């Protein structure tokens, strides 16, 4: 639950109106750097303001990586300043991008000051940007994914990107997730299998594949990949939860209880914790913390 100064990840997704993939991508770029308490990320009110700004800027077709370059250029020019994203203004003529701060404009890639910038105008004298990079294409696909009306475009963008970079894990996982959310379980399983082939040591790839195989009633294969997920990431609570469910379906109650217990150790106050407790005996429930 949110406090006046602290918000959970689910709070952020709901309040700002973005997807998990967008938030994960922006955090990976370090456009936003939440604090971590009790193994969970928490966000401040200022973080919410920054995320809203990132959302607004990227919605104007400014790729997230270019936004990051602009911020890095800003910090090089004014290392003593502490300007939040909201203090910066981004201008673009559709092909070129510049960032303005207190009347001074920067070309975001080179970091050079632009001397012929009119703060009231819509254009600045900047060099032409290079052709869209693969990272820019990924950013554009993520922005489409964040708008429900552009979901089909997001799927097509990921497909096109994977034609150019078939071994890239992140768009492969994102495409599989969109298929899964659309009910295309076969398509999701195909993408997640390819993700596992690309990155056999990635726990999220195994988790996603195991989860969709569970829905396809391929329980033995599902348990194998979920076991790989918890082996690679022993603190992956959701993987323990799904694995416990699969073992119950496989009529392996002792194995299921092992993972119900581990799930409760990792995430005792989650919305699903009570269900996990209901799968254990009273003595087993007693040996693990309860939700506050």
Q: What is the per-residue pLDDT for 92?
A: 56
Q: What is the per-residue pLDDT for 13?
A: 87
Q: How many domains does the chain have?
A: 3
Cα–Cα distance, 179 to 215 (Å, whole number): 13
CATH code for the domain of 160: 1.25.40.10
Please indicate, yes or no, whether residues 164 and 276 belong to a single structural domain of this protein.
yes
Contact 109, 129 (CB under 8 A): yes
Q: 3-state DSSP call for residue 276?
A: helix
CATH code for the domain of 37: 1.10.1660.10
In the structure encoding, which two tokens stand for residue 174, read together? Answer: 């994102």
Please indicate, yes or no, whether residues 67 and 9 belong to a single structural domain of this protein.
no
In a domain, 241, yes or no: yes
Please indicate, yes or no, whether residues 45 and 152 belong to a single structural domain of this protein.
no
Using CB atoms within 10 Å of the CB of residue 9, give its burial: 0 to 12 exposed, 13 to 18 middle, 19+ buried. Answer: middle
Q: How far is CA 281 from CA 10, 139, 240, 242, 287, in A?
A: 30, 47, 18, 19, 10
Please indicate, yes or no, whether residues 38 and 140 belong to a single structural domain of this protein.
no
Using CB atoms within 10 Å of the CB of residue 111, give its burial: 0 to 12 exposed, 13 to 18 middle, 19+ buried. Answer: middle
Please indicate, yes or no, whether residues 106 and 243 belong to a single structural domain of this protein.
no
Please indicate, yes or no, whether residues 51 and 193 belong to a single structural domain of this protein.
no
Cα–Cα distance, 9 to 156 (Å, whole number): 28
Q: What is the per-residue pLDDT for 177?
A: 94
Please indicate, yes or no, whether residues 37 and 140 belong to a single structural domain of this protein.
no
Please indicate, yes or no, whether residues 53 and 67 belong to a single structural domain of this protein.
no
Q: Per residue in 235-259, is it b (16+ CB within 10 Å) or e — as a string? A: ebbbbbbbbbbbbbeeeeeebbbeb
Please indicate, yes or no, whether residues 172 and 46 belong to a single structural domain of this protein.
no
Task: Please report, in tens digits, the pLDDT of each residue of the chain (292 residues total).
Answer: 444 457 788 888 888 888 888 898 888 888 888 887 766 788 887 788 788 888 877 777 777 777 777 777 667 666 666 655 656 666 655 455 566 666 666 665 555 555 444 434 333 333 333 344 677 778 778 877 877 777 888 898 899 889 989 999 999 999 999 999 999 999 999 999 999 999 999 999 999 999 999 999 999 999 999 999 999 999 999 999 999 999 999 999 999 999 999 999 998 888 889 999 999 986 666 554 444 3
Q: Of the residues 130, 159, 175, which one is the last residue of a structural domain? A: 130
Residue range(s) defining the domain that contains residue 108: 63-130
In a domain, 291, yes or no: no
In a domain, 292, yes or no: no
Q: Tell me the CB-side half-sphere exposure of residue 200, using CA atoms within 13 A.
A: 2
Please indicate, yes or no, whether residues 278 and 154 belong to a single structural domain of this protein.
yes
In a domain, 166, yes or no: yes
Please indicate, yes or no, whether residues 69 and 51 belong to a single structural domain of this protein.
no
């Amino acid at each position: 639950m949110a406090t006046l100064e602290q918000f959970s990840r689910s709070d952020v997704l709901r309040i700002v109106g973005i997807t998990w993939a967008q938030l994960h991508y922006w955090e990976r770029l370090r456009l936003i750097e939440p604090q971590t308490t009790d193994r969970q990320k928490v966000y401040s009110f200022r973080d919410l303001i920054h995320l809203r700004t990132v959302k607004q800027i990227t919605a104007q077709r400014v790729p997230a990586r270019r936004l990051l370059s602009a911020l890095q250029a800003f910090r090089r020019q004014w290392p003593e300043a502490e300007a939040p994203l909201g203090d910066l203004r981004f201008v673009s003529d559709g092909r070129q991008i510049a960032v303005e701060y207190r009347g001074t404009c920067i070309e975001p890639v080179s970091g050079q000051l632009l001397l012929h910038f009119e703060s009231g105008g819509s254009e600045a004298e900047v060099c032409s940007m290079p052709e869209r990079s693969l990272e820019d294409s990924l950013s554009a696909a993520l922005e489409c994914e964040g708008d429900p009306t552009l979901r089909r475009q997001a799927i097509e963008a990921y497909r096109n990107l994977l034609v150019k970079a078939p071994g890239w894990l992140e768009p492969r996982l994102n495409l599989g997730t969109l298929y899964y959310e659309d009910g295309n379980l076969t398509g999701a399983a195909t993408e997640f299998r390819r993700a596992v082939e690309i990155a056999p040591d990635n726990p999220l790839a195994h988790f996603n594949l195991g989860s969709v195989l569970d829905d396809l009633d391929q329980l033995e294969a599902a348990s194998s990949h979920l076991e790989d997920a918890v082996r690679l990431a022993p603190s992956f609570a959701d993987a323990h939860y799904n694995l416990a469910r699969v073992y119950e379906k496989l009529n392996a109650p002792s194995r299921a209880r092992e993972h119900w217990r581990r799930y409760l150790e990792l995430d005792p106050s989650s919305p699903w914790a009570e269900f996990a407790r209901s799968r254990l005996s009273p003595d087993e429930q007693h040996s693990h913390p309860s939700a506050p």
